[in-house]
Amino acid sequence: MVYHNPTNAVLSAAEMVMLFDLNVPGWKEVVVSRKAGATVSAATLSVINIPVDSKDSRSVQRWRDRIAEARMSPSC
């Protein structure tokens, strides 16, 4: 599912988080590939796709940082 501004709870729960650029075909970066020790089936796989401007390295890094922070937060 494509999220333009996912909540920390969504980022924390996702099995896969990927950044992609609509304007650059083929540009993508998998930030999270899955939670350690999680068992997943096709029915429960939660994939979050976040559109970014891949030419804006600061914006891409902010997303990486936000995703990492959300996934480390004990409140999510």
- The verdict on pTM exceeding 0.85 is no
Task: Report CA torsion sign: 70, 49, 27, 23.
Answer: negative
Residue 12 lies in a domain: yes
Question: Residue written as tokens 């796709």?
Answer: 49
pLDDT reported for residue 9:
92
The 10s digit of each residue's pLDDT in 19-45 is 999 999 999 999 988 755 556 555 567
In the chain, how many domains are there?
A: 1
- CA 26, 42, 50, 11 dihedral sign is negative
pLDDT at 6 over 90: yes
What is the extent of the structural domain holding 38?
Answer: 8-72
In angstroms, the CA 57 to CA 50 distance is 15
Residue 23 lies in a domain: yes
């804006």: which residue's tokens?
A: 56
Above 60 in pLDDT, residue 18?
yes
**Whether residue 50 has pLDDT greater than 60:** yes
Query: Would residue 2 count as lying in a domain?
Result: no
Cα 17 off chain centre by: 3
Per-residue model confidence (pLDDT) at position 32? 87
Instruction: Note whether residue 3 is domain-resident.
Output: no
